[in-house]
Chains A and B, each alone.
Chain A
């Protein structure tokens, strides 16, 4: 059998620790090979070695059976290895075509010649049904399109081995489906794909085989079709993962949050983004706002937390109208908020972990005295939270959060918000981009909040999460609540009908 890429018995040791310990990865010509592992299992190190960023201490790399040495990314390019990074490397005010030829542009008398390149790009785009407009500006196209530009960049360079580093993290469900089709087309044409991910259903959907890493060690390479999802996750995490969120019947208490006829219209818009939204959340229940991205969920949460001012309607917390309260006062009165964008809102990335833990209560007498911060208290709390929520980082409480993995950043935010002991916890896509172990942990925390007699408002785009975690589902469509559902009474298919606007629930008819 011929392998497009073989990485045999790769060991890479960094001072004191083995990041890759005798790892073997064999990718066949024309297959989609998934590389599965938790955050920090050694996937990135392995790919960095393949890309020439690191040299392995032991082991061998073979391409088409020939032993090779990859000393830097240029070598990787020479061997036709290309990579779509999780964060795209595109120049936003350049056109698609300019981005694709960047670095290998043809020139004549110092002027760039784009005609041949354009022809090739258009051909490739048609061949793989990428539908990319070569003259569009990157800043004008969607994230999904930008990813296709990255794919085109690899194809334009005649790469045969394509590495996709968590490509679906930034995509909408439809875009994910389209990407899967593109990937299948690519392998049909003889390309080989290494697909890095920790989303098991995506592996099930496209991958042929799957190599699993855990804590830097090679665990197994399995045939995807004959391996059930449960088995895959067990191999990845090293223990059985509970996909079913265990929870008792909700014990409903008083109403905590009551929203009445909330409307919001952005300054330069002619249409209401939130249109007469009314609902309530009671103690002891998890209410989930389901819906396709961009149907007003973000604005709803911003309005609740005070980041935007709504135009009309009321927001009542424990019976008190908060419509004119500042963000700080809403926080103090009992709204905790796990934000959608952890980098934009959730953390000050240049602050360390301890400083981020006190982001919302640094002014509390617990942490300050006459305006001076009590650093010992701050670090004491930080160390407690780090233990309690298992936040892992290089230098404990003093780690700068920018350098931490996404999962641990999210755990830090969750620790801060849950510990604030607020009556209402708003969690917006709390598990986005995280691996199953972290997801399980976060779901447990949400359920625990509920069982502690708090109200939880969960906003999620993931149907699994909506169905498993919530006690009640509110579906949002075009800025309106269109249904109030019991997750036990419906299935995902039906939920999809509500989400796409083709059905409205009882009491929500037009």
Chain B
């Protein structure tokens, strides 16, 4: 069962991607018929368009969405839709940046980036803790409190930027004075922005996988997600499980923010009142990854690959806005994986019905 399930998941994801690409191609055809094939080719080969440099870019831009995707997936395993990832990501990023620039040269760089990341994770965890507590003790819907905390986080960060790390020349925050180490990746992917963040992100996905599938906490968490009544009957504390799963989920988002804002690529907070897209982009990543932590690794790489490839399409005179539409269409349709899996499951069920009847005969 488990095996056929994961096989089904894979088939569903691949099918969804194929459908996404097909529809994306139709949009390209409409945008620029004469160069459609060339443009599609560029997009598809995007991760290798400029050799290893492009591949490095794919890895780099996968970092934030891998973390927010993991965050969404993790909370979902417990039955909660953590749509507050954006807030957790933003708060995490701000805390990392703030600490990096405040403690710069008081703490050695080699230690500081680790402190910043952990603090970012904790900040994200705190931002998820409150909706978690509200859910556990007051049954407040996590979607609603999550969205509210997105805004609270965004405005607080804007105020924080203005108060502590404002760069008046650029009308935005300062950029980080330290950077996550490259961990040798700059030698493999010369010229790209990739850094050790991708290794950390993948490692955290693996950690999440182990928590979910190998530990008693993961056992509790999934039981609570599948059947909260039964887990209560079995003596598990739903409150504890809900809160902890949200905290861990928020921790992942927060780390994602930290990895980006001290990533050494000059990212800064603007003071515009806009919630950051990386958080929401975690949702399609989680969906495409079938809410599995390992699936999130592949899904994030895929989404990032499409985005990087899309950027190169400008060579075919396709405007950036249209490129965004095309990438969005592909990713959007690719998230239909869940729907396709349901379809496959229904088919399987019909087959299974027969099998049940078979067993019946056997007894």
Query: How far apart sit A64 and B297, CA to CA, in the bound complex (Å)?
Result: 62
- B361–A18 CB distance below 8 A: yes
Q: Nearest-CB distance from A244 to chain B (Å)?
A: 25
- B357–A42 CB distance below 8 A: yes
Contact indicator per residue, chain A 1-24, by CB within 8 Å of chain B (1) or not (0):
000000000001011111111000
Given A328-B235, A331-B235, A344-B229, decide whether A17 and B361 contact each other with a Cβ distance below 8 A.
yes
- A16–B232 CB distance below 8 A: no
B223 partner, pick from A53, A339, A348, beta carbons under 8 A: A348
For A319, the chain B residues whose CB sits under 8 A away are none
Q: Is B215 an interface residue (CB 8 A)?
A: yes
For B317, the chain A residues whose CB sits under 8 A away are none
- A17–B235 CB distance below 8 A: no
For A20, the chain B residues whose CB sits under 8 A away are 361
- A351–B226 CB distance below 8 A: yes
Contact indicator per residue, chain A 317-356, by CB within 8 Å of chain B (1) or not (0):
0000000001111110000010100001111111110010
For B360, the chain A residues whose CB sits under 8 A away are 19, 39-42, 44-45, 216, 405
- B232–A394 CB distance below 8 A: no
Q: Which residues in chain A, 375-415, are within 8 Å of chain B measured between CB atoms?
A: 392-395, 398-400, 403, 405
Given A44-B357, A351-B223, decide whether A17 and B362 contact each other with a Cβ distance below 8 A.
yes
- A348–B232 CB distance below 8 A: no
Nearest A residue to B235 by beta-carbon distance? Answer: A328
Given A14-B358, A15-B358, A215-B363, decide whether A347 and B216 contact each other with a Cβ distance below 8 A.
no
Q: Nearest-CB distance from B7 to chain A (Å)?
A: 15
Query: How far apart sit A346 and B231, CA to CA, in the bound complex (Å)?
Result: 9
Among A97-105, A265-273, A365-373, A452-460, the one that faces the other chain is A365-373
- B235–A360 CB distance below 8 A: yes
- A345–B361 CB distance below 8 A: no
Given A41-B363, A45-B360, A327-B232, decide whether A362 and B216 contact each other with a Cβ distance below 8 A.
yes
Q: Nearest-CB distance from B229 to chain A (Å)?
A: 5
Q: Which residues in chain B, 237-266, are within 8 Å of chain A measured between CB atoms?
A: 237
A348 partner, pick from B227, B357, B362, B363, beta carbons under 8 A: B227
- A348–B226 CB distance below 8 A: yes
Nearest A residue to B218 by beta-carbon distance? Answer: A373
- B357–A19 CB distance below 8 A: yes
- A40–B363 CB distance below 8 A: yes
Q: Is A441 an interface residue (CB 8 A)?
A: no
Nearest A residue to B362 by beta-carbon distance? Answer: A17
- B227–A349 CB distance below 8 A: yes
Q: Is A359 an interface residue (CB 8 A)?
A: yes
Query: How far apart sit A392 and B358, CA to CA, in the bound complex (Å)?
Result: 13
- B357–A16 CB distance below 8 A: no
Among B128-136, B281-289, B348-356, the one that faces the other chain is B348-356
Query: How far apart sit A194 and B232, CA to CA, in the bound complex (Å)?
Result: 41
- B235–A326 CB distance below 8 A: yes
Q: Is A48 an interface residue (CB 8 A)?
A: yes
Interface size class of B (residues with CB under 8 A): 20 to 34
- B216–A360 CB distance below 8 A: no
- A17–B358 CB distance below 8 A: yes
Contact indicator per residue, chain B 337-349, by CB within 8 Å of chain A (1) or not (0):
0000000000000
Q: Is B2 an interface residue (CB 8 A)?
A: yes
Interface size class of A (residues with CB under 8 A): 35 or more
Q: Is B321 an interface residue (CB 8 A)?
A: no
Query: How far apart sit A392 and B360, CA to CA, in the bound complex (Å)?
Result: 10
B235 partner, pick from A216, A327, A349, beta carbons under 8 A: A327
Q: Nearest-CB distance from A379 to chain B (Å)?
A: 13
B352 partner, pick from A328, A350, A403, beta carbons under 8 A: A403
Contact indicator per residue, chain A 176-190, by CB within 8 Å of chain B (1) or not (0):
000000000000000
For A371, the chain B residues whose CB sits under 8 A away are 215-217
Q: Nearest-CB distance from B361 to chain A (Å)?
A: 4
Nearest A residue to B219 by beta-carbon distance? Answer: A362
For B356, the chain A residues whose CB sits under 8 A away are 394, 403, 405
- A348–B216 CB distance below 8 A: no
Q: Nearest-CB distance from B206 to chain A (Å)?
A: 15
Q: Nearest-CB distance from B137 to chain A (Å)?
A: 16
For A392, the chain B residues whose CB sits under 8 A away are 359, 363
Q: Nearest-CB distance from B304 to chain A (Å)?
A: 31
Query: How far apart sit A309 and B237, CA to CA, in the bound complex (Å)?
Result: 15
For A16, the chain B residues whose CB sits under 8 A away are 358
Nearest B residue to A45 by beta-carbon distance? Answer: B357
For B233, the chain A residues whose CB sits under 8 A away are 305, 307, 327, 337, 339, 345-346
Q: Is B230 an interface residue (CB 8 A)?
A: yes
Query: How far apart sit A271 and B68, CA to CA, in the bound complex (Å)?
Result: 50
Q: Which residues in chain A, 29-54, are within 8 Å of chain B measured between CB atoms?
A: 38-42, 44-45, 48, 53-54
- A19–B358 CB distance below 8 A: yes
Query: How far apart sit A405 and B359, CA to CA, in the bound complex (Å)?
Result: 10
Given A372-B214, A392-B363, decide whether A348 and B1 contact each other with a Cβ distance below 8 A.
no
Q: Is A363 an interface residue (CB 8 A)?
A: yes
For B362, the chain A residues whose CB sits under 8 A away are 17, 40, 215-216
- B230–A347 CB distance below 8 A: yes
- B363–A38 CB distance below 8 A: yes
Q: Nearest-CB distance from B211 to chain A (Å)?
A: 9
Query: How far apart sit A467 and B223, CA to CA, in the bound complex (Å)?
Result: 38
- B361–A350 CB distance below 8 A: no
Q: Nearest-CB distance from A339 to chain B (Å)?
A: 6
Q: Is B234 an interface residue (CB 8 A)?
A: yes
- B355–A14 CB distance below 8 A: yes
Most-contacted residue by chain B among A38, A371, A393, A400 (CB, 10 A): A371
For A337, the chain B residues whose CB sits under 8 A away are 233
Nearest B residue to A215 by beta-carbon distance? Answer: B363
Q: Nearest-CB distance from A48 to chain B (Å)?
A: 7
Query: How far apart sit A39 and B361, CA to CA, in the bound complex (Å)?
Result: 10
For A329, the chain B residues whose CB sits under 8 A away are 235
Query: How far apart sit A404 and B118, CA to CA, in the bound complex (Å)?
Result: 46
Most-contacted residue by chain A among B229, B230, B231, B352 (CB, 10 A): B230
Given A41-B363, A348-B223, A348-B227, decide whether A54 and B2 contact each other with a Cβ distance below 8 A.
no
Q: Nearest-CB distance from A324 to chain B (Å)?
A: 15
Given A331-B235, A349-B226, decide whether A45 and B363 contact each other with a Cβ distance below 8 A.
no
Given A17-B358, A42-B360, A344-B229, decide whether A399 and B215 contact each other with a Cβ distance below 8 A.
no
Nearest B residue to A407 by beta-carbon distance? Answer: B363
Q: Nearest-CB distance from A382 to chain B (Å)?
A: 14
Query: How far apart sit A339 and B235, CA to CA, in the bound complex (Å)?
Result: 13
- B354–A54 CB distance below 8 A: yes
Query: How far apart sit A202 and B172, CA to CA, in the bound complex (Å)?
Result: 79
Query: How far apart sit A371 and B207, CA to CA, in the bound complex (Å)?
Result: 14
Given A327-B232, A345-B230, decide whether A394 and B219 contact each other with a Cβ distance below 8 A.
no
Q: Nearest-CB distance from A341 to chain B (Å)?
A: 8
- B358–A360 CB distance below 8 A: no
- A14–B1 CB distance below 8 A: no
Nearest A residue to B356 by beta-carbon distance? Answer: A403
Nearest B residue to A364 by beta-carbon distance? Answer: B216
For A399, the chain B residues whose CB sits under 8 A away are 1
The 10 closest A-B CB pairs, nearest first, are A328-B235, A40-B360, A19-B361, A216-B361, A14-B358, A345-B233, A45-B357, A327-B235, A40-B363, A350-B226
Q: Give me 18 other A-B pairs in contact (C-beta within 8 A), A19-B360, A394-B356 excluded.
A: A14-B361, A17-B362, A39-B363, A40-B359, A305-B233, A327-B232, A327-B235, A331-B234, A345-B229, A346-B230, A349-B227, A351-B223, A351-B226, A352-B1, A359-B223, A362-B219, A362-B220, A405-B356
Q: Which residues does A use to contact B, with CB under 8 Å?
A: 12, 14-21, 38-42, 44-45, 48, 53-54, 215-216, 305, 307, 326-331, 337, 339, 344-352, 355, 359-360, 362-363, 367-368, 371-373, 392-395, 398-400, 403, 405
| 11 chain-A/chain-B pairs, Cβ below 8 angstroms | A17-B359, A19-B360, A40-B361, A44-B357, A45-B361, A327-B235, A344-B230, A350-B227, A351-B223, A355-B219, A362-B216
